[in-house]
Every structure is written in structure tokens, then in C-alpha cells.
Structure 1
Amino acid sequence: MSIDDSTRPRDAVKSGGVQRAARRRVTKIEDVAALVGVSASTVSRALARPERVLPETRARILEAVRQTGYTPNPAARTLRAARSMNVLVVLSSPGHDEPMVSAFFNELLMGIDLALSAAGYGMLLGNLYQSVEREERVVNLVAAGQVDGVLLMLNRMPKASGRSLTDSGVPMVSVTAPAAPGLPLVAIDEEAAAAAVARHLLELGHRRFGYLGGPADHAIEQRRCAGFMATLADARIGADAVVRYPGDFRVGSGRRAGQAFVADRTRPSAVFAISDEMAIGFMKEVRQSGLAVPADLSLVGFDGIPFAEFCEPPLTTVRQPRELIGRSAAELLVALMQGTELAAEQRCIRFKAELWLGGTTAPPRT
């Protein structure tokens, strides 16, 4: 369905954009219904119970929602007294047997909560657990106007029954990884941090490397891998000289990679794990086999979780300013919820991470 200018709200045509017009005139559900040629109750069903509406009709309604800027609870966008005053934080653990929140997210959430509380907002936590049902509940919760904004701590935009979370029109910010193109993002400079790891290991004299990464389609994996491999390439070390170990950012995949390392007769002298949890699992396995860190193997993690400092020896790692990232993302979202228009440079905020030298790196054995 295509909605031409003659059928758009008059204010939107005059202003040159629906978003600017929305602050002067609140789009009602009846407006969307009139554009599509259906009843208001059909529009409501398409947003709240999409399985009860024909796919073609639902697609036309969603297109009208996008073009008009309609949100299911328009009063929540304009009247403070009618707002939910809650923000939803969405993340995803691999499964129900995993912790609700991993060690990496603790300080992030603390920063988010502090900033939201200061602005008068509460925080709701939604873990998708890789579940289609939970993902649909999150999409429906937001579409129903139960929250005023969303912080996404995952690598993609949640979808359900053909709808995306973006269809709700609720302000959103990505935290640590981009969930969708064009969405405001607060993160670190992943490539620069991974490049610092490579330079440190090269300066120690290492020339045989292992790389313990994350899922291939994950933006964080792609950026950290790019920064690490590009720096090695500058030192004339090709990708074929790097042993790749698959991982998922969790301890279990680190242990599996450690087992593969122990079984390999031509082991690398240094391994970069792109999460501390994987590095800790990796170190446990190699030490149980009788190998010593860093005498037999230099190891670097990433994230700077508290447990890394209490390893024996303490883990060399990249420390992220997680509380600052969380606080900044929440403050950015509050600005969006209050109607602030962001300049281009405000839509992507990247902080510098710090390479912290523990006791798990040393020159290779000669």
C-alpha cells in the first residue's frame, strides 16, 4: 500500500515530515483507520492481536502507522500524567538455564537505572531467552503503550507475527550493539579496542595467534574481529596464521575452545577471547590440562567484568566503561522521550575502552 500526500495529515505535508507534525497534532487511531479504509477496532486488533487480522490488511495498517507516526497510546506521548513513566530494557540470554543477567550487564543496568531514576522513570527488564513467545510479548507490550521508551541490549530488532518493535513508534536506543540501522547507538569503539589487544601481543613478540570469537552474524564479533585481524595484517600476519575458535560470549564455549586448544599439537602462543566469560572458561580448561598461563599461553579477554580481576593470575582484558555507557544511553533515551531532536553526531556515541594488563600475558617461550 502507498499513501500519497493527498491522504496524509495536512500538518505533515506542510511541515515536510510526519515526525515534526506529530508534536503539533496527535494522530488518532481513527486517522489510521480512515487512511486504510477499515474500522478503528480492526486497527487495534492488527496491533494487539495480529493473528486475528488478514496479512494483507495488517500490512496496509502497519504502513499507515509508519507514515502517520501513530502510537497505540497517543496520550502517553504528550501528557506527562498519562505516561507509563517506565522504560523497557530488552536483552537476550541463550536459554532458560542461563542467568537472567550475565556479569557483563550488571554495571550497564546500574547506570541505566540511576539515569532513569533521576529523570523519574522506572525500569522494566525483558529477557527474550531466544523465545518466540517472549519476543511476541515484548512487541505487544510496547505496541500497547505500556512503556514510554525502549533500550535494546541485543544485536537485532525484536519481531513478532510480521511486526517489528519499530512499528510502535516508541523512542528506542541501542546499547553496546546496533539493533537496527539508523537507531541511536551508545557503545565503545570496538575495532580500536581489539586493535590495542593485537598490538600488545605483537609487542610481546607473539606471532602465532588464536581468536575465540562470537556468532558470525553478531555486530560486536564483526567489529572486534575486524580490529584484531587488521592490526595483525599490518604486521604481515595473515588470516591463515590465526586459529579460529567458535564461541557465543559464554563460559561454556570458552571451555570447549580450551579443549580444542589442548588437543591441538601446533598451538598458538597467544589467544584473544572477545569476552571475559569465554576467556575464563578457556583458562580453566588449559590449566586443568597442566599448561600454565602465561608461561605456556598468553590470554586476553574483553569487557573487564569483576570476576576477571579475581582470576589467578588476574586476566588481562579490555575494560569497558559499562556504567557510563548505560547512563549515557538512558539519558539519550530520556531526551528522545521528551521530544528532543538529535543532531547527527548525537545519534552514535562511542567511548574509548582501556586495555588493562593483568597477569595472563607474557613474551612467548623461545
Structure 2
Amino acid sequence: MDYTAWYPNLIAFNNHARYGIPFYHALSMLSKSHGQRLLCTRSDVKNGYPEPEGLNGLIAYQEGTRVRNVKVDGRPAGFSHGIIGSVTHHEDGSLELTSDYTDQLEGYPNMGHIPPHTAFVTFGEEETSHCTYDLEVLLLSPDQEIDIAVWAHSTPMLFSRDETDPFYTSWNPVYTDRYVWSIKQGQGRFASVNRFNYSCFGSTIPLPIRYGEYNHFQVVTRHGGFDCYLNGLLVQTAEMVPYPMIAELASEDDTYIYVKIVNFDKTHEAVEICLDCAIQAIYEAELLTGCPKDTNSLEEPLKVSPVTRTFDNGADTFTYQAPAYSFSVLRLKKAILREVS
């Protein structure tokens, strides 16, 4: 058979070896330390922003949209992926976005709400987190709608799939997420987009678009958002929604208190843990950590896998150092009180 795994690929294999992906190890850690009762927790943690990486792109919702002079950080950026459709090169140096909507999307799940004639392409080959993205788009009327995409990246969803189908291993509309500066009816707004489901944020404002000619759009991506320029003027600024950089959960059984800690940040965090009961000083922490893009393979089956460490600073109030990009499970043994005779 042609399979090497069943999606979401918790365990992959060939005829001689197997390995678990990082998410498999995270689930295994949870299953070994789930406890019998959930505990109420209160936390005071700092907020931060996602650190997305990806390509830049353009989505057009009508036929015939033309673009030229596409650059990333001042360097020309050519067409790289036809997520829906492709491009046609013209003698004047412009690219016309073309759509094969019917052929490309027919039969794919939950794609029926994408407008006909939609085309979605990316430019450049290097995924970045911070860059300056320039392009000139010919807009003829407010009815001509586009999305200028940043941080476009291929992210498979977690459900069963046939890995022999190239659709599931290539850039495609089902598995490509991005942030967009969406320009519709002459107004600009921001959204994070999964498939073609929009989660809008920020305000919607009218844009001084010059219809009937090429307009110069520029998007500068940065930590926490991106800045949008139109024909040399700063017209909109996107601020991403922050989220807590530490997540926690606690449970217990008759012997242990289990504290789960996820550190989303790129730096280690000193986490102060305050308990309402006594514990023994010595405790174990099972730790899963690595760089965000690290993965396991047949050549490196344990590149991202749990390690167990022992600490001796357990108390009703103590500090645990949570490494960057980590998931920790602390097993805190309750103190045994001697009976008074």
C-alpha cells in the first residue's frame, strides 16, 4: 500500500521503523497525568502576539485582475504558488490572475461559499515574519475586490485524509491560512483567514483608491501586526489580537497534583506556582520542547520527545522555569502527614 501514516500522522512508519510526531507525545503526556478531579486555577500572565511566518499573496474575486512590480524587501518577487488558479504573463510586464475555480474546488469540503472566478496566488519563495511587500494592482471600479495576503502558509487540518492525493501535500485553498488586508467596495478591513472563513479585526475605513489605473499597495509586516500604505500614504494599521503567553491546567488524585503548563513564548518564563496544600519537596516534571518548526522523522525519531527531570524546590509556593515553546507536566506528590497518637 502507499500509506506511510494515517492523518494527523500521530504515528508514521515504514517497513522497518516507526516514530511518533510531537503531538503524539503531547497526548501521551496528558494521558499519563490526567488525574481524577479538575482543580480551580487563577493566573496572572503576560499577553503576547502570534509569530506567524509565510509568503505574500493576492486574492482576486473577479476575472482579469492585473498586478505588476511585485517586490519583497525591495527585490522582485515572482509567482510561486497557484492556490486557486494561476497567472498569465503579458508583454507589458503585468501578470493577470486566472481562475480554474470549478476544476480546482469541485468536491472539496466546505468550499461552496467561495465566489466564482476567485484566484489566489503567492509571490516569492521564502517565508518570512517581517518584510515589506509591494505590488501595483489595476483597479477599475469599487466592484473589483481583492485581498492582499501576508503570512500565507500551508497548515493541514486534523481529519482523515488520503496521503496519496497530491492535493493534501501541496498548497491548496483548504489548508492555506493567512492574514489579509481585504479591500471590498472601496473599503479596507483586516482579517485572519482559515480556508475562506474570515475572523475580522480592527475597523473598516474608506480608501482613497484611484480607479482606472494601477494603485501602489505596500504592506509592512512586524511583530504584533502590519502597516498598510496606498500610493505612498499610510492608510491603515493592523494590530493583532493578543493572547496569554502561558496556559495552565491543574488536576489531582489521592496522591498527586498534576500541573500542566504551556509556554507559547520564545523565551523561558519563571512561573510562580502557589498551592493551597502541602507537597513534598522533590517532584518530577515531564517536558516537551523544541523549535516551532521542529519535527520528528525516521532519521530523527526522537528530535521532539519528552524528557523527565527531577527538582527539589517543591513547596506551597515555588517557581518553575518553563522553557521557550514548551509543554510541561509537573507531578507534585502530596505531603504525608503523620498521625498524632
| Shorter-chain TM-score range | under 0.3
Q: Say which one has the larger Rg.
A: 2
Name the TM-score, length of structure 2 as normaliser: 0.24
Name the TM-score, length of structure 1 as normaliser: 0.23
Structure number with greater CO (CA < 8 Å, separation at least 6) is 2
Q: Which has the higher helix share?
A: 1
Q: Which has the higher strand share?
A: 2
